[in-house]
């Protein structure tokens, strides 16, 4: 074994450049795989652990505030809950902090403990008087609110000031980035903060074992049937919370998982390519090794170790790097759970990634190394060099026929001289191009989702109204501004839909919602009262199809609807519908928009408009420019990093192939130099080899990447319970589909520079003498 190790280590020192290529590719592949594995493992278990520890509620129900608390106190027995919390008096509170205003459900609760939904205070202390409030850590951190900060309540005319006393973790709500949040005050403080019509009570229920969605739906029906009509005004199940929590990470782990497979594929291609090259370039040496007593297996081992040693070293470095790179996404998960972020890394998973990567590298190296073991010593010692590849001759003849410059003709032939190496190189390029295509397409599709859901580009300004300000007053302010072109009011109205465990949200619009950019996938937009459009999630789970009549419950009142279209909407996991004001208002006469989507006249200064409207009602209107962006999405950033990784791997593959080709063809190149080929022409010849491989890899990679992008975008929309609109696939310009392979050629030619220079600068006499 010592001889094998000594030989392998010495060969590694001789092939430092190739060892570096292996190291870089292994580092990147193992790094991304570690990221994916770390995310998957740490997020899969953490929710359930915290849910059990904090005795999370399986079912949270919001009741009308007029229901007698004693009646609600008896409700757990109705549904067989083994533990319960509440009833907690609650209301919706809008408060202002610095220049921003926020709407939170505020629950009256005198301590954070209890049998169900224990709240963990992680900063400060529980509110001790009526002028203190506790916020979720997720919400406070997202909005940079600290303990001791003062917030001003703007949803009641008194506008009291509250002090933030605590940051808490609540397992029964998702991240503040994706869901509305709760806050807590002493129960004695709630009445003074409750605007007319905004009084609720919350009950939390927990069961002996985790119930199914159907069980929870049955429990809700029992509550509705047993309590006075209209008692239940909202509900949330632990299944919905868990799903919301997991959506971002599911998305991230799926994408990272796919990308790490790409990276590993590219690594396999490059390793197989390298080993093939090593065997070809050391023909005589292999013969000598055999002559002095190396067994075929030992010869193979010497070759394989030249891959495995740098790969192992790189993998050891990649493990902590991958774990560190996954931390921002893990921190996001922690935020979603309301957990304090703690750096997490699983040594067992690290071992899996390490051993897995080495196993893959070993197999990828071992297969081509078998050739080294099979070589006949006498033959290879006698012939010294591997038989020259001849497969490129037809291409060379073809290139000559179309009268390309001679260096290009020669380079084109060299590119395919060894078909296996050419295929492996093109495979690495192919994977790189596919990855880049997907890395461009997926974030754009995500942006499309946000843009259409938020009416970005259609409504220029979003305004949230405090209940303390009358709707008519808000409309007067908009009408008074000459830049206002159109105002559509919107309120999310909880509705009970037969077949759904949770309540769905009926986005109820006052005004022309058809011009707000929502994506209609099938059917038509609603045209008047009694018509609705809904996303696939609601249609599927409530067993509805376009043309179906169904009845939802708004408060206590049944509302008959006709489903006329399918709309794209990932909010509330697709359990939403879009209806006109005239559909809901008869069942809820006090309905008023909580939000206004304002479209401005062309040429208006959006910033100036925002400042003007906000100045009229600084406390009671929250006026924001409607231009959220995904640029800070950790998923988008991760995709960009991984795409860059795979590009480097692809470039390394080209570099390696050209290095081997130029070395193998050193004598040919020297001969060409003696007959008059200039160093520049030598470089052109090498670059032509690279360019040809890149053109083929890119030409195949772009449509494949396009197809994979479709697949991933569909997968993303499946997670959000939506069908995929065609516009989310059509995120590439024609020029981009041409530019990607061209960029690929540019990278390939750049990767060819060093081997080209090496070939061009080699001293002819030395080469010919050595040969």
Partner 1 sequence: MKDLVRLTDVTKVYRGGITGALNGVSLTVESGEFTAIMGPSGSGKSTLLNLVAGLDEPSSGSVAVCGTDLGSLGEARLARFRRDHIGFVFQFFHLLPNLTALENVLIPAQLRGNGSTARAAELLERLGIEEVADRYPSRLSGGEQQRVAIARALVNRPTLLLADEPTGALDTRSGEQVMDLLGRLHRDGQTILLVTHDARLAARHAARVISVMDGEVVDDSRRQVA
Give the shortest CB-290-to-partner 1 separation in angstroms.
6
Could you give the CA distance from residue 366 to residue 19 in angstroms, rounded to a whole number? Answer: 16
In degrees, rounded to 5, the angle at the alpha carbon of residue 368 between the alpha carbons of residues 362 and 371 is 125
Residue 496 is given by DSSP the state B
Q: Smallest distance, Å, CB 26 to partner 1?
A: 23
| Sequence-ordered list of residues with C-beta below 8 angstroms from that of 220, at least 6 positions apart, any chain | 59, 61, 232, 235, 496, 501
Of 718 and 766, nearer to partner 1 (C-beta) is 766
From the CB of 451, what's the least distance to partner 1, in Å? Answer: 59
End-to-end C-alpha distance for the chain, whole angstroms: 32
Q: How far apart are CA 355 and CA 140, in angstroms?
A: 42
- Give the integer Cα–Cα distance in Å for 572 and 159: 31
Q: How far is the CB of 11 from partner 1 (least distance, A)?
A: 6
Q: Burial, 664: exposed, middle or buried (Cβ in 10 Å; 0-12, 13-18, 19+)?
A: buried
Residue pair 496/557 in contact (Cβ under 8 Å)? The answer is no
Q: Is the dihedral of CA 205, 211, 217, 221 positive or negative?
A: negative
CB of 366 to partner 1, least distance (A): 16
The least CB distance from residue 393 to partner 1, in Å, is: 20
Nearer to partner 1, 580 or 664 (CB): 664
731/742 Cα distance (integer angstroms) = 19
User: Residue 208: exposed, middle, or buried by beta-carbon count in 10 A (0-12, 13-18, 19+)?
Assistant: exposed
Q: Is 325 helix (H, G, I), strand (E, B) or coil?
A: helix
- By CB under 8 A, name the binding residues for partner 1: 2-4, 6-7, 10-11, 13-14, 284-285, 287-298, 373, 376-379, 381-382
Closest by Cα among 132, 198, 187, 196 to 160 = 132
The least CB distance from residue 762 to partner 1, in Å, is 16
Q: How far apart are CA 491 and CA 475, in angstroms?
A: 15
Minimum CB distance to partner 1, residue 295 (Å)? 4
Residue (202 or 283) nearer to partner 1, CB: 283
Q: How many residues does the chain have?
A: 771
DSSP lists the bridge partners of residue 85 as 204
Nearer residue to partner 1 within complex by CB, 111 or 385: 385
Alpha carbon distance 381, 379 (integer Å): 6
What's the Cα-to-Cα distance from 36 to each of 28, 45, 130, 252, 445, rounded to whole Å?
A: 12, 15, 46, 8, 21
Q: Are strands 200-206 and 595-600 parallel, antiparallel or unpaired?
A: unpaired
Least distance between partner 1 and beta carbon 386 (Å)? 16
Pick the closer one to partner 1 by CB: 374 or 485.
374
CA angle, corner 328, sides to 251 and 140, nearest 5?
100
Q: Is the peptide bond before 681 cis (omega within 30 degrees of 0)?
A: no
SS (H, E, C) 262-282: HHHHHHHHHHHHHHHHHHHHC
* In the complex, least distance from residue 743 CB atom to partner 1, rounded to whole angstroms: 38
Report, in Å, the least distance between residue 770 CB and partner 1.
Answer: 10
- Between 3 and 343, CB nearer to partner 1: 3
Going from the C-alpha of 307 to that of each of 8, 449, 748, the distances in angstroms are 9, 44, 23
Give the DSSP H/E element, type plus range, for residue 531: strand 531-534
Query: Cβ of residue 287: shortest distance to partner 1, in angstroms?
Result: 8
Min dist CB 415 to partner 1, Å, is 29
CA distances from 594 to 92, 272, 463, 597 (A): 11, 62, 8, 10
CA dihedral 452, 456, 461, 466 (to 10 degrees): 30
Name the 3-class secondary structure at 547. Answer: coil
Work out how close the CB of 292 gets to partner 1 at its nearest, in angstroms, rounded to a whole number. Answer: 5
Nearer to partner 1, 6 or 470 (CB): 6
In this complex, which beta carbon is closest to partner 1, that of residue 284 or of residue 540?
284
Whole-angstrom Cα distance, residue 456 to residue 443? 16
What does R_g of the chain's alpha carbons equal in angstroms? 33
Q: Between 10 and 680, name the residue whose CB sits nearer to partner 1.
A: 10
Of 743 and 768, which has the nearer Cβ to partner 1?
A: 768
Q: Of 11 and 483, which CB lies nearer to partner 1 in the complex structure? A: 11
Distances (CA, A) of 178 to 59, 170, 283, 386, 764: 20, 15, 61, 61, 66
Q: Which is nearer to partner 1, 234 or 287 (CB)?
A: 287
State the minimum distance, in angstroms, from the CB of residue 286 to partner 1.
11
In the complex, what is the shortest distance from the CB of residue 364 to partner 1, in angstroms, rounded to a whole number? 23
Closer residue to partner 1, CB minimum distance, 373 or 489: 373
Cβ distance to partner 1 smaller for residue 6 or 640: 6
When the beta carbons of 290 and 510 are compared against partner 1, the nearer one is 290
Judged by CB, which is closer to partner 1: 288, or 640? 288
């Amino acid at each position: 074994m010592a001889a094998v190790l000594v030989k392998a280590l010495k060969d590694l020192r001789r092939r430092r450049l190739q060892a570096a290529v292996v190291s870089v590719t292994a580092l990147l592949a193992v790094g991304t795989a570690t990221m994916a594995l770390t995310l998957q493992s740490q997020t899969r278990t953490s929710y359930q652990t915290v849910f059990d520890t904090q005795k999370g509620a399986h079912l949270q129900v919001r009741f009308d505030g007029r229901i007698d608390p004693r009646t609600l106190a008896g409700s757990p027995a109705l549904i067989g809950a083994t533990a319960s919390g509440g009833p907690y008096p609650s209301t919706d509170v809008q408060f202002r902090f610095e220049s921003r205003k926020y709407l939170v459900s505020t629950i009256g609760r005198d301590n954070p403990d209890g049998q169900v939904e224990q709240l963990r205070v992680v900063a400060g202390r529980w509110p001790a008087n009526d002028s203190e409030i506790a916020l979720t850590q997720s919400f406070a951190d997202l909005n940079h609110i600290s303990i001791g900060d003062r917030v001003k309540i703007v949803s009641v005319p008194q506008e009291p000031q509250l002090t933030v006393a605590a940051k808490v973790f609540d397992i029964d709500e998702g991240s503040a980035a994706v869901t509305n949040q709760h806050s807590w005050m002493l129960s004695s403080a709630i009445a003074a903060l409750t605007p007319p019509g905004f009084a609720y009570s919350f009950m939390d229920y927990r069961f002996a074992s985790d119930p199914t969605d159907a069980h929870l739906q049955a429990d809700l029906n029992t509550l509705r049937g047993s309590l006075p009509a209209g008692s239940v005004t909202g509900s949330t199940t632990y299944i919905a919370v868990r799903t919301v929590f997991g959506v971002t990470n599911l998305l991230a782990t799926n994408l990272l998982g796919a990308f790490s497979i790409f990276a590993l594929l590219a690594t396999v291609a490059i390793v197989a390519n390298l080993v093939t090259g090593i065997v070809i370039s050391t023909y005589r040496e292999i013969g000598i090794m055999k002559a002095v007593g190396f067994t075929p297996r030992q010869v193979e081992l010497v070759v394989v170790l030249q891959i495995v040693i740098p790969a192992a070293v790189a993998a050891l470095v990649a493990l902590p790097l991958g774990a560190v790179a996954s931390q921002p996404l893990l921190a996001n998960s922690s935020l979603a759970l309301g957990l304090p972020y703690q750096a997490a890394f699983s040594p067992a998973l690290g071992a899996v990634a390490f051993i897995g990567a080495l196993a893959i590298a070993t197999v990828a190296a071992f297969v081509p190394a078998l050739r080294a073991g099979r070589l006949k010593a006498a033959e290879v010692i006698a012939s010294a060099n591997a038989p020259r590849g001849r497969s490129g001759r037809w291409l060379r003849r073809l290139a000559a026929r179309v009268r390309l410059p001679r260096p290009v003709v020669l380079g084109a032939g060299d590119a395919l001289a060894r078909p296996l190496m050419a295929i492996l190189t093109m495979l690495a390029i192919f994977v790189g191009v596919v990855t880049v295509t997907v890395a461009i397409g997926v974030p754009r599709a995500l942006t499309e989702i946000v843009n259409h859901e938020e009416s970005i580009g259609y409504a220029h300004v979003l305004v949230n109204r405090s209940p303390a300000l009358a709707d008519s007053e808000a409309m007067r302010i908009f009408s008074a501004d000459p830049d206002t072109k159109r105002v559509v009011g919107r309120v999310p109205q909880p509705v009970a839909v037969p077949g759904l465990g949770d309540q769905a949200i009926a986005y109820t619009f006052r005004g022309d919602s058809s011009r707000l950019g929502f994506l209609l996938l099938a059917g038509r937009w609603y045209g008047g009262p009694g018509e609705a459009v809904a996303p696939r999630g609601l249609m599927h789970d409530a067993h509805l199809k376009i043309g179906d009549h169904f009845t939802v419950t708004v408060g206590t009142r049944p509302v008959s609807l006709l489903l006329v279209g399918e709309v794209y909407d990932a909010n509330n996991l697709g359990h939403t519908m879009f209806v006109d004001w005239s559909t809901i208002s008869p069942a809820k006469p006090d309905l008023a928009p909580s939000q206004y989507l304002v479209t401005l006249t062309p040429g208006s200064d959006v910033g100036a408009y925002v400042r003007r409207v906000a100045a009229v009602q600084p406390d009671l209107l929250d006026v924001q420019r409607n231009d959220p962006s995904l640029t800070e999405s950790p998923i988008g950033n991760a995709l960009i990093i991984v795409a860059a990784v795979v590009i480097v791997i692809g470039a390394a593959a080209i570099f390696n192939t050209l290095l081997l080709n130029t070395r193998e063809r050193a004598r040919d190149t020297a001969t060409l130099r003696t007959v008059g080929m200039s160093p520049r022409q030598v470089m052109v010849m090498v670059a032509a080899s690279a360019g040809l491989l890149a053109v083929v890899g890119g030409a195949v990679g772009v449509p494949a990447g396009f197809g994979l992008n479709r697949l991933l975008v569909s997968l993303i929309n499946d997670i959000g319970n939506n069908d995929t609109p065609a516009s989310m696939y059509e995120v590439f310009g024609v020029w981009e589909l041409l530019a990607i392979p061209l960029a690929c050629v540019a990278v390939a030619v750049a990767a060819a520079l060093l081997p080209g220079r090496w070939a061009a600068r080699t001293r002819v006499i030395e080469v010919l003498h050595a040969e």
